[in-house]
Chains A and B, each alone.
Chain A
């Protein structure tokens, strides 16, 4: 019997394998990954520093143990060159593999904004464990870090590094922190608590140049402000990895296009996690991946299932001022209202029927996450 082949060993790939094994102990599975295949939790990369975690200690389960426990064939350090859909074969750097069903769980690449200057290629991104190891190495002799991007990941890194004693500058062309998810009043709550632990904010401008200056770097911003930093980190967002799917002629948009069954335009091929776009939406967080993986495991196991997503709040790991948000789509009709304000802020997003369909909780209010999620769920 030809195996189910999973491409990718991140949360998406491994959650799927785990769920599939729960349903079926015998179905052959092959996992192909371009890294080592060690299982680690990606969300911890942006808050591992304060806990003084060495990269190796972030590995929850080594690849070999995963393969033994979950009974799959592991092809680590292997890249896929092409998908030959007609023959249901993969051309990889190790060998040619036949598949019965193929699951694309390849994740996303960090977006790199074009920069000028002689140190533009010294800017780091942290998107996997080996990036994190490189980042840790650079931080050893550093005192200051400039972070390009004041979104969720940028703010988590800012909190983590400032807490560890680094002088942190955050640069973002937007108007306030985490503007992609939070309403302005909620995002602004982060300003002071992070400033108090050593973060300086530079909103409304972008980095233009990065130049070497002795042992450190000099960033020139669009308004000609100059910031010096020993390490420059880019955290401006992720772009789904779609090239392989595109080259194979699968339907792609921003991500690999799939329906609620996670099926691509080829019925033997599925996509899951950060590389997928489910009915037009990318869902790059932990909870949607868990739900989608569970549905897909059923479909692959033979009983057809659609991914159903409940209300899934996102927790921002900024201990200086905790945040929980149930985001709403950018074009959702309705408006944000302030419900309470005290140590932090509690806001709800109300649709035209005056039903709460989203929320933003900061500071002390972040604890009310479960209760607020239940309130949103109760109205339907």
Chain B
């Protein structure tokens, strides 16, 4: 399980925790998050930015 960070706003996505508030179950790998997902903090689309592994 990995932790990813939005390069634009610093938002952190932890695969272990998922994002239940956005309908993403705990344990969801970054690769399995739909392409139309947007960063909950800055609104940048998944396809529009890189999450970097931290």
A positions within 8 Å CB-CB of B:
11, 15, 18, 40-41, 43-44, 58, 60, 286-287, 290, 312-315, 317, 369-370
Task: Please name all residues of chain B whose beta carbon is closer than 8 Å to the beta carbon of A286 when the two chains form the complex.
Answer: 8-9, 42-44
Interface residues on B, range: 10 to 19
Main secondary structure of the interface of A (DSSP, over half): helix
| Residues in A neighbouring B7, C-beta threshold 8 A | 18, 60
Give, as a whole number of angstroms, the nearest-CB distance from B16 to chain A: 19
Given contacts A41-B9, A58-B10, A286-B9, contact A312 B41 (CB under 8 A): no
Query: How long is the Cα–Cα vector from A290 to B50 in the complex, in angstroms?
Result: 12
User: Which of A44, A312, A369 touches B9 (beta carbons < 8 Å)?
Assistant: A44
Q: Are B41 and A290 in contact (CB under 8 A)?
A: no
Q: Which residues of B contact A (CB under 8 A)?
A: 5, 7-10, 36, 38, 40-44, 48-49
Q: Which residues of B contact A43 (CB under 8 A)?
A: 9, 41-42
Name the residue on B nearest A374 (C-beta): B36
A315 & B36 in contact (Cβ 8 Å cutoff): no
Known contacts A313-B43, A315-B43; is-contact A44 B48 (Cβ 8 Å)? no
What residues of chain A lie closer than 8 Å to B41, measured between beta carbons? 43, 315, 317
Q: What separation, in Å, do the CA atoms of A41 and B48 have in the docked complex?
A: 16
Q: Chain B: which residue is nearest A313 at the CB level? A: B43
- How far, in Å, is B50 (CB) from chain A's closest CB? 8
Name which residue of chain B comes closest to A40, CB basis: B10
Given contacts A290-B48, A370-B36, contact A41 B8 (CB under 8 A): yes
Check A60–B10 contact: CB distance below 8 A.
yes
* 21 A-B interface contacts by CB (under 8 A): A18-B7, A40-B10, A41-B8, A41-B10, A43-B9, A44-B9, A44-B10, A58-B10, A60-B7, A60-B10, A286-B9, A286-B42, A287-B43, A290-B44, A290-B49, A312-B43, A315-B41, A315-B42, A315-B43, A317-B41, A370-B36
**CA gap between A205 and B17 in the complex, in Å:** 45
Please state if B8 and A11 are interface contacts (CB–CB under 8 Å): yes
Q: Which of A40, A290, A314, A317 has the most CB of B within 10 A?
A: A290
In the complex the two chains form, what is the Cα distance from A60 to B49 in whole Å? 15
Q: How far is the CB of A42 from chain B (nearest CB, A)?
A: 9
A60 and B36 form a contact (CB under 8 A): no
Name the B residues within 8 Å of A369 (CB-CB). Answer: 43
A58 to B41, CA, bound (A): 15
Report the minimal beta-carbon distance from A283 to chain B, rounded to whole angstroms.
Answer: 14
CB distance from B37 to the nearest CB of A (A): 9
Min C-beta distance of A211 to chain B, whole Å: 38
How far apart sit A312 and B42, CA to CA, in the bound complex (Å)? 11
Give B49's nearest chain A residue, CB to CB.
A290
